[in-house]
Chain A
């Protein structure tokens, strides 16, 4: 672009940068400043609104153009906080540093440590039990294999995360796996599995498969009813076990920080990706069986017709 093209834009940028400091001081901070060209009077007609939108779009285009001369780190190629929920890692790509970065190694106070958690504790620092991530990583991979295996056999999986920040996590994890996954973001009602006839009605309890094939708990401490019901109904469980919890309450414990949202997002993401892989395997198996069945049918038909002919 020649200088004659850029000169008016440079003037505009100079104007913009002056206004940015003013607006920043006033406290109305936005990602893209819009006060440069727009007036502060209220917008009356549709044309005013269109002009407002176009001004903003122009500002964005301007910044977009000049960003090539700025830092190589952009919003597109750096890690953003929403990536842990929307872009999960696969179990094969999981690293120890990712677990550390999400804060999975922070346990609870040393005084509150459950003695059965000792094998998974690395040590104590500042009165806090530090979880040994060298145990967490293989146990998380094992749990991922369990999820994959259950999904590959066509089993139903339930994600349980009964905190406000865990609600979108369990929902997204269940959606990622697909049809055979469910989520519980609010309180687990006691009797969901053991009292299913009263809970869901006799028709549903008899005709549908109510007992799931796997339950994954992101916060097991408030969901002891769910854990007990799974034990009664012989449902395998996976759970994030913190240092104040006995790891034996679930079948496949994952020793990690249960209070951190990012840790829960990472773990639920890994398990849901494994589940998605299992669903794909199941679909492949079904297709293979279907093909084999159709081949056998055609062979039997040919044999019968050959026998019937003479």
Chain B
């Protein structure tokens, strides 16, 4: 009885399952494709993923690698380490790197100033290596490094570097330069064209039509007697001067500026440069008075001469002819009759 009860109890206790899958002995699994147990998720791409700023540190690592490779290449080429006399021969770097905001946009992540400066430090280091390779004539290495650095340069790099520099004066198809000069309230537009040389150089030229000074030079008297002048009776050979025209508002210089000081101011750049009679000038000037207009034309002519004959520019600069005179009429102030003049002071 106990055995029967215990058997029944065990029968009740052990549950029999009717399973969907039948037992398959292992030998039959040889024609069954093995199923992949775990579906692996893809891992992050960047090795800097766990820093939280993968894009930034990827750039930093890339630049560090570029610096290492460039350094080893320069060492193999005997260009590093450089002694001081060689280092002084390297031209200074003109670089315009991307701004912090631009870099933030590029990385699509927030960027602090310290991180930005760190990146800039690496860029400057790489740029110094590029300059060494460039000046030593290693074109391929310099170009490759420049390609890496180009990514981090601002788009308007040329514009930024050209700031503060004068725009180069362009010549048209006839060889004319167009420059602008300003003084006080006057503005002058000046076209300067070099004079065509005459075919024969031996003919004695007549006096110039409008250039007073040229006419004056023709008949300069010999003040000190020389051996040749004492020996011969014939007069001295006159100096050949090409005729030039200076037209201002379509009128000749002598007519437009009756005051000699104004004429002198207009012609002074030619005198300083030693190019009297070499260029024709056509100017349109507007605004201001006589001295202002003559000063404006003078500045325009000086700029044109430095474009036509660049070797003359230091002379004009030293003579202060290239400077736009900043002096303007000072405004009148309240409580005063004029800019500076004050009303009579009354004690009471």
Point out residues on A near B: beta carbons under 8 Å. 28, 30, 34-35, 40-44, 46, 48-50, 52-53, 56-57, 60, 154, 156, 158, 160, 171, 174-175, 179-186, 188-189, 192, 199-200, 204, 207-210, 212, 289, 292-293, 296-297, 299-300, 303
Contacts and interface: CB of A to CB of B under 8 A. Distances in A.
A212 B77 CA distance: 44
A171 B48 CA distance: 9
B33 A300 contact: yes
A183 B41 CA distance: 20
In terms of DSSP, what is the predominant structure of the interface of chain B? Answer: loop
Contact of A186 (B42, B43, B51, B137): B51
B33 A297 contact: yes
B156 to A, nearest CB: 31
Contacts of B88: 42
Contacts, number: 96
Contacts of B40: 154, 209
Contact of A293 (B33, B86, B89): B33
Given A41-B85, A43-B86, A53 B51 contact: no
A210 B78 contact: no
A122 to B, nearest CB: 35
A155 to B, nearest CB: 10
B135 A49 contact: yes
Contacts of A48: 89
22 contacts: A41-B85, A42-B85, A48-B89, A60-B78, A154-B40, A171-B61, A174-B47, A180-B43, A181-B47, A185-B51, A199-B52, A200-B52, A208-B41, A208-B42, A208-B43, A212-B50, A293-B33, A296-B32, A296-B33, A296-B34, A299-B31, A300-B31
Given A49-B137, A189-B52, A209-B41, A182 B85 contact: no
B188 to A, nearest CB: 42
Interface of B: 30-34, 40-44, 47-52, 57, 61, 77-79, 81, 83-86, 88-89, 135-137
B88 to A, nearest CB: 5
A182 B49 contact: yes
B43 A189 contact: no
Nearest to A47: B137
B41 A182 contact: no
Given A34-B83, A44-B89, A208-B43, 15 more contacts: A30-B81, A42-B89, A57-B78, A179-B43, A182-B44, A185-B51, A189-B52, A192-B50, A208-B44, A209-B42, A292-B34, A296-B32, A297-B33, A299-B30, A303-B31
